[in-house]
Amino acid sequence: MSILEAEDYEPLEELENLAARNPHLARYIEEWYSRTGRELEYRRELTREMRRLKQFSVIYPVGEPIFIHIYSREGERAFYNAVTPSTPPEFKEILTLVEEGLAMLITAEHTFETREEHEEILNELLDELLVVDESLDTWEYNEVRRDGKLVALEVNSETLEALKFETIMEKVYLGPLEPFIRDQYIEDISCDGVGPVFVEHKIFGSCESNIRFETSEELDDFVIRLSERTGRPVTYRRPIVDASLPDGSRINIVFGTDVSKRGSNFTIRKFSDKPVSIINLIQWGSMSALEAAYLWMLLEYGFSIWFCGETASGKTTAMRAACVFINPKAKIISIEDTPEIIVPHDNWVREVTRQGEQGEASVELFDLLRAALRQRPNYIIVGEIRGAEAYVAFQAMQTGHPVLATFHAGSVEKVIQRLTGDPINIPKTYIDILNCVLIQSAVRIPKTGKVERRVLSINEIAGYDPSSGRFDFIELFSWDAVDDTHIFRGEGNSFLLETKILTLMGLSRRDAKKVYEELGRRAELLETLAILGVSDYNHIWNVVKLCYEKGVDEVLHSIRRGGKPWLRD
């Protein structure tokens, strides 16, 4: 086997062991080297530093037996190759035989409630159907029939593993899309019609993949089955569906040619069960430790913050990360079209809208938000505010219920324009009920040329002057594009810290300096965690909980003395 001989022997040794256990991987590596002569670098995990690479050919695991080989191509986007033990197209008839054999074995007793149970049953049935005969070549098979009925398929061990893998992926998981779902480095999956599926990779950017649909019939059939997995099947009467996949990813499906000239298409936006942590955002430069500390203070004292920006600017990611700062004893109600929000709090009510069909009435964001006001929450989190629900959100804030939400707008001015204009029509005098607007965007960094997500500004809404028709807001934090740094306007410039949080902390105006000292302590704590590499979401939650119990000072001193409060049970 020809593999790149790295200075560090461990990656090579590990790859050789993986190839020995996975014949499809060994065959792929051998074919790759003989066809291209290019080197292969094995990585157990990828790092953000690899974003700087211009030329690369990297292979990494996403859970055996699935491996990902991603490599650069001159003049084209990178290629993303999912290496799986799948059946070659010329041997697809063997899968039809497997279907036939399973149909003969399945009985009414084979029931399941979870995907794990489903997979276990299929494995048992496949073990009964598939018989190993090592005298056969890979993909060769013998049919064993009794009274014309298929009772067994004789195959060699490699073919058996491939058939089991492909059958389980198709029946239990998402078939050819499953490698993307399991790959932690994938952000978006996009199928534009017949042809290849494209992915947005966190390290290597936009990539073309080896997963493709050859005909519109194949694509339509897959899209129908995919939508059925979400519980919101597409039809010709309802060709557009927004839903969630079992792993929590958001999917948009457009079915048929009536509304899409290139035919069926879908886009999947991945969200993991464990959110990106606020420390990750600090480490990546998305926001500064001081900005995160400021959000912490606002969330601790019950202020409303809206995370705003264009599509794919990182609004939801930032909001999910910041939710860790809400008081651990708070009651939280989240309201969404598709469930994406994750909070670590025990007292959390998670509500989603319902699309009415077959006589069922629809339940909209407006309805859920109005109902939430009767449930006495400490915080209401709205996945995305778009229309009439904004009016109820402002009513909630006016009655003392702080609201976190995402909102499509690229600046504070655009936020105000959308809120006060049709169809939302919030009275201008209500706008200052919204305390803080965070503006985020995907921007190209001059130094690296890479597109990164950055908090462009954090703004305090101060009020509205009816006589001049002017809205007053303070840009407390801003982003400097030249140096890629986050700038704080400094002590004495925060309306919320000095007029509201100061009072809630039991301090007088002459003690305003103490508010900024507290802000600095929290920033120091977060910066220390970032330097130590403590970025796991659950670990940050442990630290925040301890800060609420014992105070930021004590937790910071503990860390300085070598303590690890993030590891507490």
Taking only the tens place, the pLDDT of each residue in 503-513 is 999 998 888 99
Q: Which residue has the higher pLDDT, 364 or 437?
A: 437
Asked if residue 47 belongs to a domain, the reply is: no
So what's the pLDDT on residue 246? 81
pLDDT given at position 379: 96
* Band of residue 1 on the pLDDT scale cut at 50, 70, 90: very low
Q: Give residue 529's pLDDT.
A: 97
pLDDT tens, position by position, 517-527: 999 999 999 99
Residue the block writes with tokens 């590891």 = 567
Asked if residue 516 has pLDDT above 90, the reply is yes
Residue at 379 is within a domain: yes
Is residue 187 domain-resident? no
357, pLDDT greater than 60? yes
Give the pLDDT mean for 207-230: 94
pLDDT score at 150: 92
**339 vs 392: CA distance, rounded Å:** 20
C-alpha span between 200 and 180 (Å, rounded): 10
Among 237-241, 258-262, 556-560, name the most confident range.
556-560
User: Does some domain include residue 369?
Assistant: yes
Ranges assigned E (strand) in 110-255 = 130-132, 142-146, 149-155, 186-191, 195-201, 205-213, 240-244, 250-254
Domain that holds residue 314: 278-493
CB 334 within 8 A of CB 381: yes
Helix (H, G, I), strand (E, B) or coil at 361: coil
pLDDT band at 354 (very low <50, low <70, confident <90, very high): confident
Tally of domains within the chain: 1
Query: Is residue 133 included in any domain, yes or no?
Result: no
> DSSP of 269-312, one letter per residue?
E---SSPPPHHHHHHTTSS-HHHHHHHHHHHHTT--EEEEESTT
Structural domain contains residue 232: no
Using the Cα atoms of residue 463, residue 467, residue 470 and residue 475 in order, give the sign of their dihedral.
negative
Q: Is the pLDDT of residue 189 over 80?
A: yes
268-325 residue pLDDT tens: 998 777 789 999 999 999 999 999 999 999 999 999 999 999 988 999 999 999 999 9
Q: What is the pTM of this model?
A: 0.83
Give the mean model confidence (pLDDT) for residues 355-381. 83
Share of the chain above pLDDT 90, in %: 72
In the predicted model, what is the mean pLDDT of the chain? 91
Report the share of the chain in percent with pLDDT over 70. 97
Average pLDDT of 465-482?
A: 92
For residue 478, what is the domain's CATH number? 3.40.50.300
Which pLDDT score, from 0 to 100, does residue 142 have?
Answer: 94
Average pLDDT over residues 383-407: 90
Question: How do residues 35-59 score in pLDDT, each as one tens digit?
Answer: 999 989 999 999 988 988 989 999 9
The secondary structure of residue 363, as a DSSP letter, is B
Q: What is the pLDDT of residues 119-162, one digit of tens each?
A: 999 999 999 999 999 999 988 999 999 988 999 999 999 999 99
Q: Does 285 fall in a domain?
A: yes
Residue 137 lies in a domain: no
Residue 414 has pLDDT above 70, yes or no: yes
